[in-house]
Amino acid sequence: MALSEQEALHQAIVPPKPPFIAPGHSPGTVTEKISEIVLTRKTPRWWFVGFGIAFILVMGFLYAVTKLVFEGTGLWGVNIPVGWGFAIVNFVWWIGIGHAGTLISAILLLLRQSWRTSINRFAEAMTIFAVACAGIFPIIHTGRPWLAYWLLPYPNTMGVWPNFRSPLVWDVFAVSTYATVSLLFWYMGLIPDLATLRDRAQNKPAQIIYGMLSMGWRGGSRHWQNYETAYLLMAGIATPLVLSVHTVVSFDFAAGVVPGWHTTIFPPYFVAGAIFAGFAMVLTLTLPLRAVFGLQDFITQRHVQNMAKVMLATGLIVAYGYIIEAFTGWYSGSHYEHFMMLNRIKGPYGFQYAMLWLCNILAPQVLWIRFFRTNPVALWIVAMFVNVGMWLERYIIVITSLHRDFLPSSWGEYAGTRFDWMIFVGTLGLFVALLFLFIRFLPMISIAEMRHMAHQTAHSSGTKEKA
Amino acid sequence: MRAAQTYGLVAEFPSAEGLVIAARAARQAGYSRMEAYTPFPVEDLHDALDLPPSKVPMIVLAGGITGCLGGFGLAYWASAIAYPMNIGGKALNSWPAFIVPTFECTILVASLSAVLGMLALNGLPQPYHPLFNVERFSHASQDGYFLAIEARDKKFDPAATKAFLQGLNPSEVTEVGY
């Protein structure tokens, strides 16, 4: 009897956690609720408005890039000494945002965090679109984007091969692998859901298109066995990959001798920053979507709280990175490192540096308070602070280190031009436009995984009657 | 019409548990050419149908090793043989610098083999399958649980097998035509 008493006591002290899916759902209702967004619900007016605005920004982007191709990178604010401007800032920012998607889909799967199920599809889509936006920048930054394929190792009549000792070549390998693996992982996860859409679609074109994309998936037990094995292995493969990508991006800086870049803290601090920024972006997007599509049953309060906690934890790692950076500047005894740190604080970009501390370090501290983790509006505002802060971080790293390096005679200042801004805002438009197309044509929550979860939840909570 | 003109018989069950019991019974009755179809993975079916372990891991391992050797080989060949450049007196085979491309190629080929290997082992893409002729089979991707016994099975007999399936408490038994 002692055992049951203990159990009762435990029940009284620690109330059972709410499930990750609202009660009363069966595989059938989950399928209906998620697939109706794509198949039967009327496209809401805000979709057209949002997509329209994003589309206009994409047009602005195309205009600016066309002009850039015709006239050259002189349209941008970059010059010597600041040869890396917005293009690199935006590249690192976008790539970082992508990292949360892989973290949610791969690392949380391996850690058996079942709450990832309802957000992984969406986060993976976000990863792919963010990587697509990121990939644009190094290509246009080459100045001659039509020759960007020179970065790849291929037999050519010039008899030249890329320098495999260069971090920039490592970057080509890391980013292109990351884009490919993310796309494969996402598509593979979609196959059973595409079969569901094929089977539920009412009109012929939709049946044919979803039918082709689903490749004839039938859900046989042999199918599922191979599928689950492959999915788990993909998660295992993607985990070291995601940690490597931002590490390699940080090598672009850390392998140089420029003060403020040449530090060993860069790889871990970049990876933590990437996850921090990525979760902020996932929250920025899921909080409004969950409200407008009424998906609170699937993306529950617990999901939102967990994401807020991950953001808080990674934000603290980032704070540690900033502190160690400043400490290294002082402790290195190097005149240039010392000056770089003081220049960051008190130099011409001191305001941006202060804003960076406000956005990335101070603002997320409110997440210690429960209210800010549970109130969607408050949490959304905190996430926006982080989005801005992480962009500023890259701006500070790129610009302040370059604009005053070793020789005072070669110092200079940098500011983005309207073309810099147009291209940056244009990629925001591209990102949003792709996301709008995604939520309209593909299930934004994994239906198959939610069915599995609904089945398991119904069984573990003691409801033995069949759905 | 000969018996070979049918693909087999498919029975629908109202629950995953019912399907597992039926699959186990069918295997004990001596059927081997059969498959269970579910809207989400049901682990008990692997045991019920006595499935061999998946071959995907071996394919991924082979892909990973290929990518690893290929990636390092590419970096080595390009830097030391095809286009040797003396930069600051560094060794031509500066292998620590080749680790990043080697690692990325390992990941790339391993993940390509995971996805393509999974598709190949499942016989996908396969736009047509006789089971798609069954009206109710569209529920296999939603909320239906199906057990199909193929006509190729040695023990298959249109009447006897149908009677056997009907004894397993299905909600429906249908003949599958080509």
A337 vs A3 pLDDT, higher one: A337
Q: Residue B173 pairs with which residues in a beta bridge?
A: B11
pLDDT at position A291: 87
In angstroms, what CA-CA distances link B17 with A13, A374, B28? Answer: 35, 38, 17
Pick from B117, B104, B74, B91: nearest CA to A153: B74
Facing residue for B46 by CB, picked from A153, A225, A466? A225
Over range A2-22, report the average pLDDT. Answer: 63
Is the CB of A31 less than 8 angstroms away from the CB of B143?
A: yes
Facing residue for B51 by CB, picked from A162, A163, A222? A222
Report pLDDT digits (tens) over A182-203. 999 999 999 999 999 998 888 8
Is the CB of B129 less than 8 angstroms away from the CB of A225?
A: no
Residue A1 predicted with pLDDT over 60:
no
Facing residue for A455 by CB, picked from B16, B105, B127? B16
Helix, strand, coil % in chain A, rounded to nearest 5: 75, 0, 25
Q: What is the ipTM of this complex?
A: 0.91
Query: Kindly report the CA angle at B92 between B88 and B94, in degrees rounded to 5?
Result: 90
pLDDT at position A444: 86
pLDDT per residue rounded down to tens, chain B (178 residues) = 444 578 888 888 888 888 888 888 888 888 888 888 999 888 888 888 888 899 999 999 999 999 999 999 999 999 999 999 888 888 899 899 999 999 999 999 999 999 999 999 998 888 888 888 888 888 888 888 998 888 888 888 888 888 888 888 888 888 887 7
Residue A20 predicted with pLDDT over 80:
no
Residue A12 predicted with pLDDT over 70:
no
Report pLDDT digits (tens) over A129-148. 999 999 999 999 998 999 99
pLDDT band at A100 (very low <50, low <70, confident <90, very high): confident
Q: Among A30, A177, A198, which would you mutate to test the B interface (most chain B Cβ atoms within 10 Å of its Cβ)? A: A177
Pick from A153, A150, A165: nearest CA to B98: A165
Output DSSP code: residue A16: P
pLDDT at position B34: 87
pLDDT at position A462: 46
Strand, helix or coil at B8? strand
Facing residue for A184 by CB, picked from B36, B115, B128? B115
pLDDT at position A355: 95
Over range A332-344, report the average pLDDT. Answer: 91
Report pLDDT digits (tens) over A243-254. 999 999 999 999
Pick from B11, B3, B9, B7: nearest CA to B139: B11
Put simply, the chain B residues between 105 and 124 with a CB less than 8 A from any chain A CB are 105, 107-108, 110-112, 114-115, 117-119, 121-122, 124
Listed in sequence order, the residues at least 6 apart from B144 whose beta carbon sits closer than 8 Å to its beta carbon are B12, B37, B39, B136, B137
Is the CB of B126 less than 8 angstroms away from the CB of A215?
A: yes
pLDDT band at A345 (very low <50, low <70, confident <90, very high): very high
pLDDT at position A465: 38
Report pLDDT digits (tens) over A377-418. 999 999 999 999 999 999 999 999 999 988 999 899 999 999
Check CB contact of B58 with chain A, cutoff 8 Å. no
pLDDT at position A346: 93
pLDDT at position A41: 75
The shortest C-alpha distance from B98 to chain A (Å) reads: 6
Over range A264-274, report the average pLDDT. Answer: 91
Q: Among A208, A218, A245, A246, which would you mutate to test the B interface (most chain B Cβ atoms within 10 Å of its Cβ)? A: A218
pLDDT at position A14: 62
Range with the lowest mean pLDDT among A58-72, A288-302, A331-345?
Answer: A288-302
pLDDT at position B141: 86
State how beta strands B172-177 and B145-150 pair. unpaired
Pick from A11, A80, A38: nearest CA to A442: A38
Check CB contact of B177 with chain A, cutoff 8 Å. no
Q: Provide the token pair at B41.
A: 């993975």
In angstroms, what CA-CA distances link B110 with A58, A105, A235? Answer: 35, 18, 12
Using an 8 Å Cβ cutoff, are A246 and A254 in contact? Answer: no
Instruction: Give the burial class of A27: count Cβ atoms within 10 A of its Cβ; 0-12 exposed, 13-18 middle, 19 or more buried.
Output: buried
pLDDT band at A464 (very low <50, low <70, confident <90, very high): very low
Residue A7 predicted with pLDDT over 70:
no
Helix and strand element counts for chain B (H, E): 5, 4
Residue A288 predicted with pLDDT over 80:
yes
DSSP H helical segments within chain B, as ranges? 16-28, 44-48, 56-76, 95-121, 158-166
pLDDT at position A134: 94
Residue with tokens 């982080």: A386
pLDDT at position A17: 63
